[in-house]
């Protein structure tokens, strides 16, 4: 094998890995985060978790990526540890789809139908179609489909280049002796583990073994331990992703590791034990890529069937490996349902960020209602609640804005870009509304300190403004949470009413001061309260107008400017 063959092989591997990753990313975009949402909501039964884990992994082409997402679910408190086990088992099965697709490269036959199934026949056609879809289509979904087709074409092209570059290896004595070394189960499993750890994907590792099989360079005895070992190697990115997470998230990654290690040990002991007794003749025969797909699938289904009844024991083993000491403190430090691992699926990350922003909006609405009620009826309990809520609001803003900045750096769809822009606007305005609630509290405390009582007329006029403010915060929150444009359109008229009330109340209060009905000590806090309520209405209006303008399609989105 000369230097040009090595360069060709490495180039094929590069194209293969890029095609697999690009295809998975485009499939993820097309799903719009729905796959992750289904995983989150529909894993109450182990069998459901296995089924959904298999389906989602078959789509995104990576069991490691799905398991990393599950680690994020558990870390953020969305999914229980026990529910994660089924998804992990299903992910292992779903990742075998890639091997079956790649096995198409070894289809042989002279009929037109068989010829059309060969990647060398359909890949160029798919590539041409995908280029037209990417360059000419203005529809985002069609572009995503074009991206999927392009990724698939690049993947198959890489596979073909790999197998062609390895065509002479079967006659190479050095390579043949290396393959004989891999026939040793222990060495072969270690080699498979290292291969999958380096390429960060069990599917990619199996694909490389399949490329060797197409060239006729690898026997069954060498391929089997490599296939077994790559399952252990695929755990490396998951283990790395669990660093710095909660105890249950670390346990999730350990369950993935234990499941694969135990599956490899059980399968290896049974198979090689039977082989030593019966002496399988096929062990020294060259293996085909289709046979590799069969072996890979059979192993993973077998592991799932064997270990499924012991899912509780797997959980127990993970819990024993990472003890519960100090867990209560840890749970309190994880109050929000977002996780950096969700960034692997931008659409899902945006949706989770929106859910947390809805929680922030509910908190701010409660704070506003409490602040408005304290104007008439001051209590220390209400004052403390407003201060605590304001601190929580600030924490929400800090965490969400940091998370949104990370999301903004990703490759987002047009819809997700609009959602991110809206969330930036909403979070900023909600935080400022919380600040004005604090200003109302300060003004009310000032009135208590100066023992300033408002006149009956001032109380009545202020009650009208309070009623309008109660309505606008309720309508705004509901419009934002439901993405209801009809409700959003009701906010601006309410804001106009509050603006007019502010001008009218200030004018009438100045008249009362001139007439001696109210004092300056009463007037300043009163005017601060009126101004704060009007500012709250302004920020409600800003949220609603942003919703309306984004949906009109002519809004200039500039996230970086934020």
Place of tokens 């602040």: 371
pLDDT, mean of residues 123-134: 86
pLDDT in tens, 349-384: 898 899 999 999 999 999 999 999 998 888 999 999
- Write down the pLDDT at residue 330: 45
232: its two tokens: 């252990």
- Write down the pLDDT at residue 516: 67
Q: Indicate the range of 23-32, 125-134, 149-158, 219-228 predicted with least confidence.
A: 23-32
Considering only CA atoms, which of 361, 393, 368 is closest in space to residue 382?
Answer: 368
3-state helix, strand, coil in the chain (%, to 5): 85, 0, 15
* CB neighbour burial string for 430-459, b if at least 16 within 10 angstroms, e if fewer: bbbbbebbbbbbebbebbeeeebebeeebe
- Write down the pLDDT at residue 522: 59
The DSSP annotation for 269-290 comes to: HHHHHHHHHH--GGGGSB--HH
pLDDT, mean of residues 57-65: 77
280: its two tokens: 């399988």
CB 238 within 8 A of CB 64: yes
pLDDT, mean of residues 470-477: 96
Apex 474 CA angle, 471 and 477, nearest 5: 145
Place of tokens 């009330």: 501
- Write down the pLDDT at residue 43: 66
* pLDDT tops 90 at residue 401: yes
Report the percentage of the chain scoring pLDDT > 70: 86
CB 92 within 8 A of CB 303: yes
DSSP at 303: H
In this structure, the number of other CB atoms found within 10 A of the CB of residue 106 comes to 18
- Write down the pLDDT at residue 329: 44
* pLDDT tops 80 at residue 200: no
Considering only CA atoms, which of 473, 526, 465 is closest in space to residue 499?
Answer: 465
- Write down the pLDDT at residue 376: 87
Most confident range, picked from 79-88, 272-281, 422-431: 422-431
Confidence of residue 476 (pLDDT cuts 50, 70, 90): very high
* pLDDT tops 60 at residue 391: yes
pLDDT in tens, 238-260: 888 888 778 888 899 999 999 99
């Amino acid at each position: 094998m000369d230097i040009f063959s090595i360069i060709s092989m490495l180039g094929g591997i590069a194209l293969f890995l890029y095609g697999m990753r690009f295809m998975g990313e485009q499939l993820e975009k097309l799903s719009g985060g729905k796959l992750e949402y289904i995983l989150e909501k529909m894993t109450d039964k182990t069998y459901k978790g296995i089924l959904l884990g298999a389906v989602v992994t078959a789509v995104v082409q990576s069991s490691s990526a799905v398991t990393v997402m599950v680690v994020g679910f558990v870390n953020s408190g969305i999914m229980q540890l026990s529910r994660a086990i089924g998804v992990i088992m299903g992910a292992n099965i779903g990742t075998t789809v890639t091997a079956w697709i790649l096995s198409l490269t070894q289809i042989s036959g002279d009929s037109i139908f068989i010829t059309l199934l060969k990647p060398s026949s359909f890949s160029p056609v798919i590539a041409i179609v995908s280029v037209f879809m990417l360059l000419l289509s203005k529809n985002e979904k069609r572009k995503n489909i074009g991206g999927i087709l392009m990724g698939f074409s690049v993947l198959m092209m890489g596979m073909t280049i790999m197998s062609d570059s390895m065509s002479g290896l079967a006659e190479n004595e050095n390579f043949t002796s290396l393959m004989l070394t891999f026939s040793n189960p222990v060495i072969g499993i270690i080699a498979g583990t290292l291969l999958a750890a380096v390429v960060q994907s069990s599917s990619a590792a199996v694909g490389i073994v399949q490329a060797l099989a197409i060239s006729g360079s690898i026997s069954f005895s060498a391929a089997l331990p490599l296939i077994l070992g790559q399952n252990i190697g695929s755990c490396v990115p998951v283990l790395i992703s669990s660093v710095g997470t909660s105890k249950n998230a670390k346990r999730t990654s350990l369950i993935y590791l234990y499941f694969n290690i135990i599956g490899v040990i059980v399968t290896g002991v049974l198979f090689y034990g039977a082989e030593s007794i019966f002496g399988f003749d096929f062990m020294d025969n060259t293996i085909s890529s289709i046979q590799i797909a069969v072996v890979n699938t059979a192993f993973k289904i077998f592991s799932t069937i064997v270990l499924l009844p012991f899912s509780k024991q797997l959980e127990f083993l993970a819990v024993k490996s990472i003890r519960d000491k100090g867990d209560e403190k840890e749970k309190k430090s994880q109050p929000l349902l977002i996780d950096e691992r969700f960034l692997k699926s931008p659409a899902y990350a945006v949706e989770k960020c929106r859910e947390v922003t809805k929680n922030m909006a509910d908190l701010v609405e409660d704070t506003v209602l409490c602040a408005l009620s304290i104007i008439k009826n001051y209590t220390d309990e209400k004052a403390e609640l407003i201060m605590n809520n304001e601190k929580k609001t600030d924490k929400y803003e800090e965490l969400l804005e940091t998370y949104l900045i990370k999301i903004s750096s990703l490759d987002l769809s047009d819809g997700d870009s609009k959602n991110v822009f809206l969330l930036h606007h909403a979070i900023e305005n909600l935080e400022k509304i919380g600040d004005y609630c604090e200003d109302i509290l300060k003004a009310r405390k000032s009135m208590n300190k100066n023992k300033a009582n408002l006149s009956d007329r001032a109380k009545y006029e202020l009650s009208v403004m309070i009623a309008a403010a109660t309505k606008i915060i309720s309508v705004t929150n509901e419009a934002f949470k439901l993405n209801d444009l009809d409700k959003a359109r009701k906010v601006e008229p309410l804001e106009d009413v509050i603006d007019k009330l502010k001008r009218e109340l200030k004018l009438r209060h100045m008249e009362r001061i001139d007439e001696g009905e109210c004092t300056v000590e009463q007037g300043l806090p009163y005017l601060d309260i009126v101004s704060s309520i009007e500012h709250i209405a302004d920020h409600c209006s800003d949220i609603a107008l942003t919703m309306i303008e984004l949906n009109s399609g002519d809004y200039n989105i500039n996230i970086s400017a934020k």
